[in-house]
């Protein structure tokens, strides 16, 4: 290394040392300040509130400082005017009076030229530098000269400008997705920083960075709209739990923890949807027609007695007759409120009670000679009360217009599906109490909850009971304080000191006892079905059913969404069609549609093969261009009779020293294939950090591995095969016992 290079490295090392000194000081300081903030404060509500806000802020900063430790600073821009800025995962300021920026947050406008500047449009830059660090040591520099007139050289010039990107793309995979802040490309940057309002659809082929872009967008929005989004939270929806674990470390590494990651199955609080549906059942349950079917089924639960067969309700003053007419009138009145079922129920009850009271009044107070009714207003009120408090009357009302829970209603519905064609009913029928809730049930539960209306009387009763308990507890504390009075305040002098009971009553003390809600917005959102998120990001959005869209749109009343997907990777039975069809009911044609066109994952050799598969079905298909090639041609092998043996040999060959191998095979072959393989991880939620993973085609969606072995591709549908073939960053092998699909021959 020349002296010039040494000097450059040395200078950067000095900066990094200074940066970490500051970070360490800040970390110690922040930890202490969280401690301080946690110590008890004055009594006022305001003081408590301020303390909670402080704790949250400082804990957030501390978490961010801890999380971003590795490669905190990764870039530097030198401007023509002589200024220079270091760019990092979060912003850090000096400890001076001006709080001078020391490290610029990658999301700040000042950092933008780092991602966008080119020789053509240098955006005021003279030089862009990538810093590579190991722990706190600078190991490499890569410089791009953007001012072509600039003759000064550092010895670290990278003429192509993509050495850092290519190194990142070829590095061994870990089973966990990493962030891309060091190398966000211009087309990606524009999407990441797009305005937060409205619906943005991001489409792109495999490996174009859709997921990476979506997650960095979440981090950017949290930075740009911190106040709003910290309160309302960001929701990221992914296709399955393994995928969520795969992407789970990206946002924390960017210092962001206030994001809720969930699959569709987790979006109805209190329900763990672990069951599975047949593809056909899932498709029926997801169909838009289900909304209407459920609405009609709820109406069916608002029943009438048969004409001529009224409900006879025993009463002390003679039987009450709840006939078709009374129930019909009451039902009309309740339906006219247009309230959801449970919330309209009191109107139904009221009308029935009113009609039955009139019935009783007319019977008891009737003048046999046709004169006015004998009963005065007090008598009528008395009768009304006796009807309104009659358990038998309420039982009859419950028969006609029952109070329903979403779970109870949907279980009944699935046991006997109505308002769907017979063959659909057959596909989704499930005896009540049989099996678990499935992901496709979740949007139906949500729909049911909307149709029924939240009857929160139970929750309110529980909250009140809890409050009473706190009052009782506080009363106990006050009693103790009174009891101890004689000891504490024997002394005349001390009688000036006030005891707790002198200044505070039990109610107020209970209020003070109430634990402040320390949960983050994301945690509160997870427990609240009606939460309105500040922004929702949906990955693999093409997979969601119309019913799932209804659920998500309810969680986003402001329609602030980023939807990410690839039509060519859509599984056959999902196929909701175009974005227009999905979005039309919610935003009409008011959505932005952008495309990503470069494949950063799959080498050109593998992509050529994968494209052939889709072209067999759609000759006009154009895949995204690969950013690199490896010189490794994918291979196919006929296993003969011993498929498992051939797979085992291929696994041995392809298992990388560092990095990960995925075997992607039809589910029904897993047992056979796994038998001779040691230490392979499989199942519904495989551990992706293990060296070799066995997956079904569906579980492979969104994931990526160094090497991939596809088994028996003839059994895959086109889109599943396309997904499977495009998961590798390095090598691809195919083993088959049955015929290969035409496109792979
Ligand atoms: N600018 C970038 N710098 C470094 N790596 C990148 C960049 N963009 C994408 N990648 C990498 O490319 C790979 C593919 O990205 P990602 O998984 O986000 O693609 P995708 O479009 O969601 O793919 P698929 O649709 O196949 O699931 C990841 O390893 C990601 O880190």
Among 177, 190, 211, 727, name the best residue to mutate to test ligand 1's pocket (greatest count of ligand atoms within 8 A of Cβ): 211
Q: Which atom, in ligand 1's list, is nearest to the CA of 703?
A: 27
Q: What is the pLDDT of residues 168-212, one digit of tens each?
A: 888 888 889 988 999 999 999 999 999 888 899 999 999 999 999
pLDDT of residue 123: 95
What share of the chain has pLDDT > 90, as a percent? 59
| Residue 389: pLDDT over 80 | yes
Least confident of 161-170, 550-559, 608-617, 710-719: 161-170
Predicted confidence band of residue 85 (pLDDT cuts 50, 70, 90) = very high
Nearest residue by C-alpha to atom 30 in ligand 1: 209
Average pLDDT over residues 338-351: 96
Average pLDDT over residues 415-442: 93
- In whole angstroms, give the CA distance from residue 200 to residue 596: 13
Predicted confidence band of residue 487 (pLDDT cuts 50, 70, 90) = very low
Least confident of 266-275, 288-297, 671-680: 671-680
Among 130, 142, 161, 212, name the best residue to mutate to test ligand 1's pocket (greatest count of ligand atoms within 8 A of Cβ): 212
Nearest residue by C-alpha to atom 4 in ligand 1: 180
Predicted confidence band of residue 9 (pLDDT cuts 50, 70, 90) = very high
Helix axes 341-365, 441-452, angle to 10 degrees: 40
Q: Around 469, how many Cα atoms within 13 Å sit in the side-chain half-sphere?
A: 7
Tokens of 110: 């000042």
* Alpha-helical regions (H) of 594-705: 604-615, 643-654, 670-674
Torsion sign across C-alpha atoms 50, 64, 219, 723: negative
Cross-strand pairs, 166 = none
CA of 63 to the centre of ligand 1 (A): 26
CA of 407 to the centre of ligand 1 (A): 39
Predicted confidence band of residue 483 (pLDDT cuts 50, 70, 90) = very low
pLDDT of residue 722: 95
Nearest residue by C-alpha to atom 25 in ligand 1: 206
pLDDT of residue 30: 74
| Residue 713: pLDDT over 90 | yes
CA of 230 to the centre of ligand 1 (A): 27
- The four Cα atoms 232, 237, 243, 247 give a dihedral, to 10 degrees, of -40
10 Å Cβ neighbour count for 200?
21
DSSP string, 360-375: HHHHHH--TTS---S-
Average pLDDT over residues 217-235: 90
Q: What is the pLDDT of residues 510-562, one digit of tens each?
A: 555 454 566 778 888 888 898 999 999 999 898 899 999 999 999 999 999 99
Cross-strand pairs, 596 = 204
Average pLDDT over residues 278-298: 95
Q: Which atom, in ligand 1's list, is nearest to the CA of 213?
A: 18
Among 207, 244, 607, 729, name the best residue to mutate to test ligand 1's pocket (greatest count of ligand atoms within 8 A of Cβ): 207
| Nearest residue to 399 via CA among 348, 444, 445 | 348
Output the average pLDDT for the chain. 87
Q: Which atom, in ligand 1's list, is nearest to the CA of 208?
A: 21
Predicted confidence band of residue 216 (pLDDT cuts 50, 70, 90) = very high
Ligand 1 pocket, CB under 6 A: 165, 168-169, 180, 183-185, 188, 204, 206-212, 566, 569, 600-601, 702, 704, 726
Cβ–Cβ under 8 Å, residues 313 and 400: no
- In whole angstroms, give the CA distance from residue 374 to residue 105: 84
CA of 123 to the centre of ligand 1 (A): 26
Q: Which atom, in ligand 1's list, is nearest to the CA of 182?
A: 3
ipTM of this predicted structure: 0.99
Q: Which atom, in ligand 1's list, is nearest to the CA of 183?
A: 3
CA of 624 to the centre of ligand 1 (A): 12
pLDDT of residue 83: 94
CA of 608 to the centre of ligand 1 (A): 18
Cross-strand pairs, 312 = 321
Nearest residue by C-alpha to atom 27 in ligand 1: 702
Binding-site residues sit at 204-211
Average pLDDT over residues 590-596: 93
Measured at the alpha carbon of residue 53, what is the angle toward residues 50 and 56, in degrees to the nearest 5?
150
pLDDT of residue 724: 96
pLDDT of residue 576: 56
CA of 706 to the centre of ligand 1 (A): 13
Cβ–Cβ under 8 Å, residues 615 and 713: no
CA of 583 to the centre of ligand 1 (A): 26
Cβ–Cβ under 8 Å, residues 662 and 709: yes
Among 183, 236, 246, 601, name the best residue to mutate to test ligand 1's pocket (greatest count of ligand atoms within 8 A of Cβ): 601
According to DSSP, the β-strands at 705-711 and 625-626 are unpaired
pLDDT of residue 502: 47
CA of 273 to the centre of ligand 1 (A): 29
CA of 503 to the centre of ligand 1 (A): 63
Q: What is the pLDDT of residues 432-445, one digit of tens each?
A: 777 899 999 999 99
pLDDT of residue 473: 58
CA of 248 to the centre of ligand 1 (A): 15
What share of the chain has pLDDT > 70, as a percent? 87
Distances (CA, A) of 417 to 7, 156, 259, 434, 512: 76, 69, 37, 15, 50
Q: Which of the pair, 47 or 260, is modelled with greater confidence?
A: 260
Predicted confidence band of residue 501 (pLDDT cuts 50, 70, 90) = very low
- In whole angstroms, give the CA distance from residue 421 to residue 436: 24
CA of 177 to the centre of ligand 1 (A): 9
- In whole angstroms, give the CA distance from residue 357 to residue 347: 15
pLDDT of residue 370: 81
Tokens of 191: 């999407």
| Residue 693: pLDDT over 50 | yes
Nearest residue by C-alpha to atom 24 in ligand 1: 206
Predicted confidence band of residue 497 (pLDDT cuts 50, 70, 90) = very low
Q: Which of the pair, 245 or 682, is modelled with greater confidence?
A: 245
**How many helices (H) and strands (E) are present in the chain, helices listed first?**
29, 21
Q: Which residue is it, tokens 């780092």?
A: 114
Q: Which atom, in ligand 1's list, is nearest to the CA of 204?
A: 21
pLDDT of residue 674: 87
Q: What φ, ψ does residue 141 adopt, rounded to 5°? A: -130, 145
Nearest residue by C-alpha to atom 29 in ligand 1: 601
CA of 534 to the centre of ligand 1 (A): 25
| Residue 78: pLDDT over 60 | yes
CA of 206 to the centre of ligand 1 (A): 8
- In whole angstroms, give the CA distance from residue 641 to residue 738: 9
| Residue 40: pLDDT over 70 | no
Q: What is the pLDDT of residues 235-285, one digit of tens each?
A: 999 988 889 999 998 998 888 887 999 999 999 999 989 999 998 999 999
pLDDT of residue 481: 47
Q: Which atom, in ligand 1's list, is nearest to the CA of 701?
A: 27
Range among 30-34, 471-475, 694-698 rated most confident = 694-698
pLDDT of residue 494: 40
Q: Which atom, in ligand 1's list, is nearest to the CA of 727?
A: 26
Binding-site residues for ATP sit at 204-211
CA of 600 to the centre of ligand 1 (A): 6
Q: Which atom, in ligand 1's list, is nearest to the CA of 185?
A: 1
Average pLDDT over residues 586-611: 94
Q: According to the 3-state scheme, what is the secondary structure of 266-335?
A: HCCCCCCCCCCCCHHHHHHHHCCHHHHHHHHHHHHCCCCCCCCCCEEECCCCCCEEECHHHHHHHHHHHH
Nearest residue by C-alpha to atom 15 in ligand 1: 209
| Residue 103: pLDDT over 70 | yes
Among 169, 172, 188, 209, name the best residue to mutate to test ligand 1's pocket (greatest count of ligand atoms within 8 A of Cβ): 209
Nearest residue by C-alpha to atom 14 in ligand 1: 207
Print burial letters for 87-98: b (CB count within 10 Å at least 16), e (below 16): bbbbbbeeeeee
Among 253, 600, 660, 700, name the best residue to mutate to test ligand 1's pocket (greatest count of ligand atoms within 8 A of Cβ): 600
Query: For the range 604-610, what are the long-range contacts, defined as Cβ-Cβ under 8 Å and sequence gap of 24 or more?
Result: 604/628, 604/629, 605/629, 605/630, 605/631, 605/632, 605/633, 605/634, 606/634, 606/725, 606/726, 606/728, 606/732, 607/726, 609/634, 609/725, 609/732, 609/744, 610/206, 610/722, 610/725, 610/726
Diameter over CA atoms, the chain: 122
Least confident of 294-298, 354-358, 609-613, 652-656: 652-656
pLDDT of residue 488: 37
- In whole angstroms, give the CA distance from residue 470 to residue 507: 8
Q: Which atom, in ligand 1's list, is nearest to the CA of 566?
A: 25
Among 161, 180, 725, name the best residue to mutate to test ligand 1's pocket (greatest count of ligand atoms within 8 A of Cβ): 180
């Amino acid at each position: 290394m020349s002296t010039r290079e040494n000097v450059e490295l040395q200078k950067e090392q000095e900066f990094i040392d200074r940066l970490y000194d500051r970070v360490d000081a800040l970390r110690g300081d922040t930890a202490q300040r969280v401690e301080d903030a946690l110590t008890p404060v004055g009594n006022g509500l305001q003081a408590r509130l301020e303390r909670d806000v402080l704790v949250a802020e400082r804990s957030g900063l501390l978490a961010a400082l801890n999380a971003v430790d590795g490669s905190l600073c990764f870039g530097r821009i030198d401007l023509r005017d002589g200024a220079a800025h270091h760019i990092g995962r979060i912003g850090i300021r000096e400890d001076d009076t001006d709080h001078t920026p020391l490290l610029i947050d990658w999301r700040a406008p000042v950092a933008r030229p780092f991602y966008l500047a080119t020789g053509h449009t240098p955006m005021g830059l003279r030089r862009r530098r990538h810093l590579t660090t190991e722990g706190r040591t600078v190991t490499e520099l890569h410089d791009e000269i953007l001012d072509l007139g600039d003759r000064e050289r550092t010895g670290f010039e990278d003429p192509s400008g993509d050495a850092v990107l290519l190194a990142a793309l070829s590095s061994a995979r870990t089973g966990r997705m990493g962030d891309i802040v060091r190398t966000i490309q211009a087309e990606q940057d524009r999407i990441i920083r797009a305005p937060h309002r409205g619906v943005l659809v991001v489409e792109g082929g495999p490996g174009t960075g859709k997921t990476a872009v979506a997650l960095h967008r979440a981090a950017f929005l949290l930075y740009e709209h911190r106040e709003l989004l910290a309160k309302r939270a960001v929701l990221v929806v992914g296709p399955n739990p393994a995928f969520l674990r795969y992407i789970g470390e990206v946002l924390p590494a960017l210092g962001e923890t206030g994001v809720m990651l969930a699959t569709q199955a987790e979006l109805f609080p209190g329900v763990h949807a672990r069951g599975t549906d047949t593809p056909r059942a899932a498709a029926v349950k997801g169909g838009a027609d289900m909304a209407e079917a459920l609405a009609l089924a709820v109406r069916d639960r608002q029943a009438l007695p048969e004409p001529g067969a009224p409900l006879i309700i025993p009463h002390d003053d003679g039987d009450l007759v709840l006939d078709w007419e009374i129930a019909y009138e009451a039902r009309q009145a309740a339906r006219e409120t247009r309230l959801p079922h449970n919330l309209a129920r009191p109107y139904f009850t009221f009308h029935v009670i009113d009609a039955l009271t009139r019935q009783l009044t007319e019977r008891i107070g009737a003048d046999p000679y046709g004169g006015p009714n004998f009963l005065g207003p007090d008598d009528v009120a008395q009768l009304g009360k006796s009807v309104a408090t009659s358990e038998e009357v309420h039982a009859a009302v419950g028969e006609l217009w029952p109070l329903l829970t979403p779970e109870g209603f949907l279980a009944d519905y699935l046991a006997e599906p109505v308002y769907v064609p017979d063959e659909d009913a057959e596909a989704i029928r499930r005896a009540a109490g049989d099996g678990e809730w499935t992901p496709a049930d979740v949007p139906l539960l949500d729909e049911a909850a909307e149709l029924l209306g939240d009857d929160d009387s139970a929750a309110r009763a529980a909250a009140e009971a809890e409050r009473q308990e706190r009052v009782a507890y506080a009363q106990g504390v006050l009693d103790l304080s009174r009891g101890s009075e004689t000891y504490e305040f024997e002394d005349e002098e001390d009688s000036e000191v006030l005891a707790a009971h002198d200044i505070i009553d039990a109610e107020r003390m209970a209020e003070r006892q109430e634990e402040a809600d320390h949960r983050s917005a994301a945690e509160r959102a997870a427990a609240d079905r009606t939460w309105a998120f500040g922004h929702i990001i949906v990955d693999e959005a093409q997979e969601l059913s119309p019913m799932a869209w209804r659920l998500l749109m309810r969680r986003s009343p402001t329609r602030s969404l980023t939807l990410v997907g690839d039509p060519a990777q859509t599984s056959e039975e999902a196929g909701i069609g175009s974005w227009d069809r999905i979005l039309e009911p919610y935003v009409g044609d008011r959505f932005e549609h952008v495309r990503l066109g470069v494949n950063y994952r799959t080498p050109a050799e593998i992509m050529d093969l994968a494209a052939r598969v889709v072209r067999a079905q759609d000759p006009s298909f154009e895949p995204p261009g690969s950013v690199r090639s490896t010189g490794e041609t994918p291979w196919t092998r006929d296993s003969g009779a011993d498929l498992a043996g051939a797979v085992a040999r291929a696994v041995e060959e392809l298992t990388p020293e560092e990095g990960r191998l995925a075997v992607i095979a039809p589910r029904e072959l897993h047992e056979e294939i796994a038998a001779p393989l040691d230490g392979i991880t499989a199942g519904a939620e495989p551990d992706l950090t293990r060296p070799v993973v066995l997956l079904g085609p569906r579980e492979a969606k969104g994931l990526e591995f160094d090497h991939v072995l596809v088994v028996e591709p003839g059994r895959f549908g086109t889109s599943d095969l396309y997904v499977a073939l495009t998961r590798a960053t390095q090598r691809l092998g195919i083993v088959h016992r049955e015929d290969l699909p035409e496109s792979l021959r």
